[in-house]
Amino acid sequence: MTEVSMSVNGRKTSGAVEDRTLLSHFLRETLGLTGTHVGCDTSQCGACTIHMDGRSVKSCSILAVQADGSEILTIEGLAEGDTLHPVQAAFKEHHGLQCGFCTPGMIMAATDMIRRHPDGLTEATVREELEGNICRCTGYHNIVKAILAAAEAMGDGRARAA
């Protein structure tokens, strides 16, 4: 067993893991953060998407030991108290989920996507950027709508703050 420690949603955490333990497994089983879902387990579906050191990654394709010392953000770390993150709020407002299984990964992918496109997003870009996240309900239309709305809202926020 190897002791790993990382910052998860702003809190220092640590745990003993086998070297072969996947980061998704560590988050879910050791830390109890079950918001990160494991869908396909073949690194295609994106339900396990989280942020590591500020970038979206698939936590089922990374070992917990590889993430030792890093900063992790999961779906549980997005909201501020009772206030949903703008992307979460947009998914709620625009009905960007059906069964909800892919939603944590979609939202983590969306927040990263919005970060990387500070000048705004187009529908085509959003659809292209979502290629690593699969929705089995095929509810893409409202997911795209929600991401575009969130990007717009967050862009406005930045403009006001500036």
Partner 1 sequence: MYEVNYHRAGSLEEALKLLKDADDGKLISGGQTLIPAMKTRLAAPSDLVDLRHIAELRGISVSGRTVTIGAGTTHAEVASNADIEKICPALCHLANLIGDPHVRHMGTIGGSLANNDPAADYPAAMLAMSATILTNAREIVAEDFFTGLFETALEEDEIITAVRFDAPAKAGYAKFPNPASRYAMTGVFVVQDGGAVRAAVTGAGDDGVFRSAEVEEALAKDFSPAALDGINVPADALMTDIHASAAYRAGLIVAMAKRAVVMANG
Residue from 33, 47, 62, 147 touching partner 1 (CB under 8 A): that is 62
Q: What is the DSSP letter of 91?
A: H
Residue from 31, 57, 146, 154 touching partner 1 (CB under 8 A): that is 57
Task: Answer for the pair 7, 16: CB distance below 8 angstroms, yes or no.
Answer: no
- Residue closer to partner 1, measured from CB, 82 or 119: 119
Closest distance of CB 160 from partner 1, Å: 27
Closest distance of CB 77 from partner 1, Å: 17
Tokens, residue 94: 């625009």
- The burial class, CB within 10 Å (0-12 / 13-18 / 19+), for 118 is exposed
Task: Answer for the pair 104, 75: CB distance below 8 angstroms, yes or no.
Answer: yes
Closest distance of CB 82 from partner 1, Å: 29
Residue 16 Ramachandran class (φ > 0 left, ψ -120 to 50 alpha, else beta) = beta
Rule CB under 8 A: say whether 2 interacts with partner 1.
yes
CA–CA distance, 64 with 4 (Å, rounded to integer): 7
CA–CA distance, 25 with 64 (Å, rounded to integer): 8
Residues of span 95-154 touching partner 1 by CB under 8 A: 109, 112-113, 116, 129, 131-133
Residue from 6, 27, 63, 72 touching partner 1 (CB under 8 A): that is 63
Rule CB under 8 A: say whether 44 interacts with partner 1.
yes
CA distances from 17 to 8, 21, 42, 70, 100 (A): 16, 6, 21, 16, 29
Rule CB under 8 A: say whether 74 interacts with partner 1.
no
- Interface residues with partner 1 (CB under 8 A) are 2, 18-20, 22, 41-44, 46, 49, 52, 55-58, 61-63, 65-66, 68, 109, 112-113, 116, 129, 131-133
